[in-house]
A and B are shown apart, each in its own frame.
Chain A
Amino acid sequence: GAGVSQSPRYKVTKRGQDVALRCDPISGHVSLYWYRQALGQGPEFLTYFNYEAQQDKSGLPNDRFSAERPEGSISTLTIQRTEQRDSAMYRCASSPPGQGWEAFFGQGTRLTVV
Chain B
Amino acid sequence: SQQGEEDPQALSIQEGENATMNCSYKTSINNLQWYRQNSGRGLVHLILIRSNEREKHSGRLRVTLDTSKKSSSLLITASRAADTASYFCATAVYGGGGADGLTFGKGTHLIIQP
Q: Which residues on A are within 8 Å of B, measured CB to CB?
A: 30-31, 33, 35, 40-45, 47-48, 50, 55-56, 59, 91, 93, 95, 98-108
- Cβ distance B1 to chain A, nearest Cβ, rounded Å: 8
Hey, which chain B residues are within 8 Å of A99, CB to CB?
Answer: 30, 92, 94, 98-99
Query: Chain B, 93-107, contact with A by CB distance < 8 Å: what is the 0/1 string?
Result: 010011111111111
- Cβ distance B28 to chain A, nearest Cβ, rounded Å: 15
B104 near A102 (CB under 8 angstroms)? Answer: no
A-B interface pairs (CB < 8 A), number: 76
Hey, which chain A residues are within 8 Å of B92, CB to CB?
Answer: 99-100
Set A91, A95, A100: member contacting B30, Cβ < 8 A: A100
A42 near B88 (CB under 8 angstroms)? Answer: yes
B33 near A102 (CB under 8 angstroms)? Answer: yes
Set B33, B94, B101: member contacting A59, Cβ < 8 A: B101
- Cβ distance A114 to chain B, nearest Cβ, rounded Å: 21
Assembly CA distance A55 to B15 (angstroms): 44
B residues 3-24 near A (Cβ < 8 Å) are 4
Interface pick from B40-48, B66-74, B76-84: B40-48
Hey, which chain B residues are within 8 Å of A56, CB to CB?
Answer: 100-101
Nearest B residue to A41 via CB reads B106
